[in-house]
Chains A and B, each alone.
Chain A
Amino acid sequence: MAILVIAEHDNASLKAATLNTVSAAAKLGADLATEVHVLVAGANCGAAAEQAAKVAGVAKVRVADAAHYDSQTAENVAALVVGMVANEAAGYTHILAPSTANGKNVAPRVAALLDVAQISDIVAVESADTFVRPIYAGNALATVKSADAVKVMTVRTTAFEAAAMLAPEGGSATVEAVAANADLGLTTVKGRDLTKSARPELGAAKIIVSGGRGLGNSENYHKLLEPLADALGAALGASRAAVDAGYVPNDYQVGQTGKIVAPQLYIAVGISGAIQHLAGMKDSKVIVAINKDPEAPIFQVADYGLVGDLFEVVPQLARTLA
């Protein structure tokens, strides 16, 4: 018996979300006294697999390296995972994926093929079959118990510490190949248009500067927030309104239906603080709100609130910190 983590990676490197997911798995593994395995399914993904072998708490890395796993389509990866659960003597009792776009795409497909429920977005492990997950935009926390033989779940990465990476010479997990399934040929990825940025990844950033409709337009967003983010080494985020209005790309959206973040410091600029936005950032360690409306709901969660015109305050703040 073992626990399987589906790695988040881009063939060349392992993504930070994998480390938080391994932590959740390790918690389960300690309770159950079983091993944690990590599946790296990709094409020419040896480098990502090597990194996975250095993650503390991982006993074995399973690598499925084939051309048709290159873009990790849900159809092919789910078939692979289901095959591993069904065919292997050791068997897997738990399958975990991070709550990333990729994890959310693949994990429910795995669960349905296994005829089990999926537990989405777990924030705590109570026992081998009982987990805590947010519902209603995080306004309630449900403790749920699964009656299924195999538990499939996605993990809210902000709720679990990242597992450590062992030093290069540190003890590494065994790396073992898994036979690839036949290509189902159902979907073909034609291209990806990824936002290029030298800034930290939103999900893993220590400081986030986030802008809302109050910035007025795209030009203002960039002109005002970039110097501040530069001064702090921060990632940039946004409210849905700012994304809808085209200030920034879609993947900047923080919230119930965007990215869930929990940095050390979150600076909300010209964001009112709708329930859906709060759902994505209210677990940040320190929240700063800059808004001209003293009644804005964002102030109800802010540690430090500055009532003022962002067009005056933000450049001043950037200058002070530069």
Chain B
Amino acid sequence: MKILVPVKRVVDYNVKVRVKADGTGVDIANVKMSMNPFDEIAVEEAVRLKEAGIATEVVAVSCGVAACQETIRAAMAIGADRGILVESEIELQPLAVAKLLKALCDKEQPTVVICGKQAIDDDSNQTGQMLAALLGWPQATFASKVQLADGVASVMREIDGGLETLEMKLPAVVTTDLRLNEPRYATLPNIMKAKKKPLDIVKPADLGVDVTPRLATLKVAEPPKRSAGVRVADVAQLVDKLKNEAKVI
């Protein structure tokens, strides 16, 4: 069983981005870039399925600029077997990424695709669902537990108000939530090994996909800033402020 894991290169979660003064976007020159945290969880899950003898091959895919090769190498250091970069200089929106991944699935025929639930830069939370739609496959989003057996995936999902368990026929798309697993740290020997693993590079045109953005960003602005209020000395003063100043209790 082959598992495909899409991994996105994003601004590291520790970085607080700044909006550019001209309002055209956020300033990401010289900031630390990392693999989207939810995708690390996805790679870890796929690698565990391989270690458990359920999966036979884990393929990491990234769509974007040439530097996404680093993200693919990071996935390989966790344990992915090989990588594919779909190289594009233009901004790739979730629908375009889903179409690229669909084209790769047609070629690679994976049994499961494990995506992150959300990229922490665009916060879209769309790509996995879109890919499932384009493939006509079932989907299990926001997974906190995945079991695969006899052509069926049993997935526990995080939903509003609790948890849901669903079963779906394979092939299928899963998207990861935070509690699915704790990704391992890549060891130095594994980082070295990752450098030798195969990494193919294709272009959107090779896959016959039109990646023209459908959404134009007209402006990016700083949200209204919340200023720090006051320090209260004790509980009595806090209660007084809440009752008489803020009038919220």
**A198 CB–B CB distance under 8 Å:** no
Q: Which of B121, B128, B214 contacts A147 (CB 8 A)?
A: B214
Majority secondary structure, B binding face: mixed
**A34 CB–B CB distance under 8 Å:** no
**B216 CB–A CB distance under 8 Å:** yes
Is there contact, CB below 8 Å, between B223 and A112? no
Interface residue tally on A, bucketed by range: 35 or more
Is there contact, CB below 8 Å, between A108 and B125? yes
Q: A136-B11, A141-B221, A188-B167 are in contact. Are A300 and B228 (CB under 8 A)?
A: yes
Is there contact, CB below 8 Å, between A74 and B167? no
**B149 CB–A CB distance under 8 Å:** no
Is there contact, CB below 8 Å, between B120 and A256? yes
The distance in angstroms between the C-alpha atoms of A92 and B62, with both chains bound, is 35
| Interfacial residues of chain B within 203-233, with CB under 8 A of chain A in the complex | 213-223, 226, 228-232
- Taking the nearest CB of chain A, how far is it from the CB of B144, in angstroms? 7
Q: Which of B16, B161, B215 contacts A139 (CB 8 A)?
A: B16
**B74 CB–A CB distance under 8 Å:** no
Is there contact, CB below 8 Å, between A101 and B124? no
Chain B residues with CB under 8 Å of A106's CB are: 129
Chain B residues with CB under 8 Å of A282's CB are: 226
The distance in angstroms between the C-alpha atoms of A305 and B19, with both chains bound, is 28
Inter-chain contact count A-B, CB under 8 Å? 255
The distance in angstroms between the C-alpha atoms of A75 and B169, with both chains bound, is 12
Q: A147-B215, A288-B238 are in contact. Are A191 and B165 (CB under 8 A)?
A: yes
Majority secondary structure, A binding face: mixed
Is there contact, CB below 8 Å, between A117 and B161? no
Interface residue tally on B, bucketed by range: 35 or more
Is there contact, CB below 8 Å, between B123 and A186? no
**A299 CB–B CB distance under 8 Å:** yes
Is there contact, CB below 8 Å, between A306 and B231? yes
Is there contact, CB below 8 Å, between B219 and A142? yes
Q: Which of A112, A121, A194 contacts B133 (CB 8 A)?
A: A112
Residue of B nearest to A121 (CB): B123
Chain B residues with CB under 8 Å of A317's CB are: 235, 238-239
Q: Which of B26, B98, B117, B132 contacts A140 (CB 8 A)?
A: B26
- Among the 9-residue stretches A21-29, A36-44, A46-54, A243-251, the one with 4 or more Cβ atoms under 8 Å from chain B is A243-251
Is there contact, CB below 8 Å, between A147 and B216? yes
Residue of A nearest to B117 (CB): A257
Chain B residues with CB under 8 Å of A117's CB are: 93-95, 213-215
Q: Can you list 27 contacts pairing A with B, beta carbon distance less than 8 Å?
A: A73-B166, A101-B141, A101-B158, A101-B160, A107-B129, A108-B94, A109-B130, A116-B95, A117-B214, A119-B215, A120-B123, A140-B19, A143-B217, A186-B168, A187-B166, A190-B166, A191-B165, A250-B158, A251-B159, A257-B117, A257-B178, A288-B238, A299-B228, A301-B228, A304-B229, A304-B231, A317-B239
* Residues in chain A within 8 A of chain B (CB atoms): 71, 73-75, 78, 100-102, 104-113, 115-121, 130, 134-148, 186-195, 201, 203, 207, 232, 240, 243-244, 249-251, 253, 256-257, 259, 264-265, 275-276, 282, 285-288, 299-308, 313, 316-317, 320-321
